[in-house]
Structure 1
Amino acid sequence: MAGNPPKRRLSRSNTRSRRSQWKAKAPALVKTVENGKVTYSRPHQAKVVTDSQGTELFLEYKGRKVADV
């Protein structure tokens, strides 16, 4: 949703100082150990459960099945 157009020109200094606040953040990762394997996953996000061949079975969150893939 775009706001109203500016009433006056924004100075170069103000434009650059505003743009300097746009920063990319590295995603927060949680380290877990499953079956002797270290994996990193994003917190509060369902993960895909696969079988031994790598076929995706379902989505799991906090140890519970939440959706089919």
Structure 2
Amino acid sequence: MAVPKRKMSRSNTRHRRSQWKAQVPTLVKRQENGRTVYSRPHHANVVEDSAGTPMFLEYKGRKVADV
């Protein structure tokens, strides 16, 4: 791991930290069983039965993994 050779000043530390900003994740809106569902693009979705029990993961309409 890199170790700084000299102490970073308080001013420089705070200036560097102030540049970091959290971003809102992009969400995709879709209809599933009459409900509006928001999910992240390019991520597998959990498919649930009518009781709400997770059954498997789905990506682009295909089953990719069991839960």
Using the size of structure 1 for normalisation, the TM-score is: 0.84
Moved over 4 A (4+): none
SS of the equivalent of 2:63 reads strand
Counterpart of 1:20 in structure 2: which amino acid? S
Aligned residues: 67
Q: How many Å apart are 1:13 and its aligned residue?
A: 1.4
Aligned identity (percent) is: 70
Moved more, 5-14 or 38-47: 5-14
CA RMSD of aligned residues (A): 1.2
- Residues 10-66 of structure 1 show CA distances to partners (whole Å, capped at 9, x for unaligned) of 122111111112222221111112233211001110011011111111000000000
SS of the equivalent of 2:31 reads strand
